[in-house]
Amino acid sequence: LAAMSQILGFKDAIKASGKVLAIRGKVLPVTEENIKLKAICEDGREILGESNIGGTLGAIRRLELVPGDCKALPEVLAAIASAEAIVVGPGSLYTSLLPNLLVGGVAEAIAASKAVKMYV
């Protein structure tokens, strides 16, 4: 995926990878913006970067995206709106799952959806 991203761009690399792997369904990046994940810990420390957060000792009080004003791709919001079921997971809660909900419009679209919602 990394090599294809350099050639095609991230969004098209995901689409091409799906064809190569013959996946059923559709995989969409939530945003194409270059963002970083930041954790604010209970003790006040701020940790920047997904890989740095994973090894953090102590409780995480809050997660933020940097920059904080990133927006979801329109096709992501459309897919959420038309979904019959929305499945979140599996993955690391703090570094894989919650960050997607921080992207502008995603949490609101899921909350507004009449789809069955599942967390695995």
Q: What is the DSSP letter of 97?
A: I
> Does the pLDDT of residue 16 top 90, yes or no?
no
Query: Which residue is it, tokens 């003790």?
Result: 43
Which domains are seen in the chain, by residue range? Answer: 1-30 (no CATH), 31-119 (3.40.50.10680)
List pLDDT tens digits, range 54-77: 877 789 999 999 999 999 999 999
The distance of Cα 108 from the centroid of its chain, to the nearest Å, equals 14
Asked if 74 contacts 104 with a C-beta cutoff of 8 angstroms, the reply is no
> Does the pLDDT of residue 25 top 80, yes or no?
no
| pLDDT for the residue 89 | 87
